[in-house]
Amino acid sequence: MTLDFCCGSSGEIQRINVKFFDKNLTEGNINFSKLKEFATNSGIKLGEKQEQILKKLGKPTDLQEENTTSIATYITGQSQSKLLQEFDMPLYYEKFIFSDGVLKEYEFGFEYP
* pLDDT tens figures, 50-72: 999 999 999 999 999 999 999 99
Closest CA to 6 of 74, 79, 90: 90
- Identify the pLDDT of residue 7: 58
Cα distance between residue 36 and residue 1, in whole Å: 11
Tell me what the mean pLDDT of segment 71-80 comes to.
Answer: 84
Write out the residue range of the structural domain in which residue 78 sits. 2-110
**Model-level pTM greater than 0.75?**
no
Cα distance between residue 33 and residue 1, in whole Å: 10
Give the 3-state secondary structure of residue 46: coil
- Cβ contact 91:77 at 8 Å: yes
Give the 3-state secondary structure of residue 49: strand
Give the total number of structural domains in the chain: 1
